[in-house]
Amino acid sequence: MEIVNRPAPPTGLRRRLWRLPILLYRLRLGRLLGGRVMLLTHTGRVSGLPRRAVIEVVQHDEQGYVAASGFGVRADWYRNVMTTSEVVLQVGGKTLRATAAPISADDGAELMARYAPRHPVAARRLCQIMGFAVDGSEADYREVGRRIPFVRFTPA
């Protein structure tokens, strides 16, 4: 695993394109995105106002949903949920209240190592977006998992 370029969170037109799926949720068409994408409604750490982000679900199990902050600890949604952990999730056609909590680097490594073989194209693309060059090995994905922050959203 090699760090090629750690990108900053998107701005301008790129940010607008990243936020386009929010429109689908507003039109009540979120189920079209399936269970691997969720709308996260959280509280702005400065404004105190509701904020929204569409993020990928890396894992879903009986404990809740897990997502990775692709832009690291600089991502607004990540900084917001680390300040105020109570959130609302919309996944497919479901809406639920949840509590956000960070996941340890070792658990993140394990999550990424399990995610990559299940979704190889998405895993490679995610790593590319985050600025990591991977060779596709489990060791590389584990190292990426140690370096990016993961968050577990536990239903309230």
What tokens appear for 75 in the block? Answer: 């991502």
What tokens appear for 46 in the block? Answer: 């400065």
pLDDT value, residue 71: 83
> How many C-beta atoms lie closer than 10 Å to residue 101's C-beta?
14
Output the pTM of the full model: 0.86
Q: What is the CATH number of the domain that holds 125?
A: 2.30.110.10
pLDDT tens for each residue of 36-64:
899 999 999 999 999 999 998 999 999 99
pLDDT value, residue 6: 65
Give the count of domains, the chain: 1
What residues make up the domain containing 71? 2-155
pLDDT tens for each residue of 65-119:
999 998 888 889 999 999 999 999 999 888 999 999 999 999 999 999 999 999 9
